[in-house]
């Protein structure tokens, strides 16, 4: 393999491993679900994580992308009391977006990663943690769980991600 072929192989690998349009897929999925709100940022995220910790649930802020709320419910995530009162009604959603033609109905052929933080959140949140598989090409949305995903898995590849 010459250097150009190595670079092209790397690009193909990265395109498969890390969906660069994941954020736009999350936005599309959020737009489809009227009772989902994006993960709070800044002070709102700190207040939410503190309320969860007070309830004995310790998760990372990066372990979910959205929160499902009861219909017509609005929460000021900067208000600790409002967050505390609404906490039992929240479902934490991790969104995984497919935009490849090879992904078939029911998400057969969908290759994606689950982080340690996402798996840990699913473990402590139990039924209050869901994974939304969203096919951006077809609009298909499948709500599932980490346990159900692992039960369907045809292959797993473990990796160590580092930042220098």
Q: Distance between CA atoms of 111 and 157, rounded to whole angstroms?
A: 10
Among 9-23, 31-45, 71-85, 134-148, the range scoring the smallest mean pLDDT is 9-23
Average pLDDT, the chain: 86
54 pLDDT more than 70? yes
For the chain, give the percent of residues with pLDDT over 90. Answer: 54
Domain map (residue ranges) of the chain: 22-152
Task: Quote helix, strand, coil % in the chain, to nearest 5.
Answer: 45, 15, 40
Q: Rounded mean pLDDT of 106-128?
A: 92
Question: Rounded to the nearest 10 degrees, how much is the dihedral formed by the CA atoms of 98, 102, 103, 106?
Answer: 170
Q: What is the pTM of this model?
A: 0.80
For residues 139 and 27, which has the higher predicted lDDT (pLDDT)? 139
What Cα–Cα distance (Å) separates residue 119 from each residue in 21, 85, 111, 131?
22, 26, 16, 10
Q: Distance between CA atoms of 123 and 84, rounded to whole angstroms?
A: 21
Q: Rounded mean pLDDT of 131-136?
A: 93
């Amino acid at each position: 393999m010459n250097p150009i072929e190595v670079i092209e192989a790397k690009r193909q690998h990265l395109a498969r491993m890390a969906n660069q349009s994941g954020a736009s897929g999350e936005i599309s999925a959020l737009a489809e679900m009227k009772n989902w709100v994006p993960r709070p940022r800044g002070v709102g995220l700190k207040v939410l994580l503190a309320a969860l910790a007070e309830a004995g649930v310790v998760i990372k802020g990066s372990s979910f992308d959205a929160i499902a709320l009861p219909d017509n419910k609005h929460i000021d995530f900067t208000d600790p009391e409002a967050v505390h009162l609404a906490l039992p009604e929240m479902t934490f959603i991790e969104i995984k977006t497919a935009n490849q033609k090879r992904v078939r109905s029911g998400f057969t052929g969908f290759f994606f990663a689950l982080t340690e933080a996402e798996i840990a959140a699913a473990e402590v949140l139990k039924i209050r943690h869901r994974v939304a598989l969203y096919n951006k090409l077809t609009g298909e949305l499948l709500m599932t769980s980490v346990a159900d995903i692992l039960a369907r898995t045809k292959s797993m590849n473990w990796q160590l991600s580092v930042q220098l």
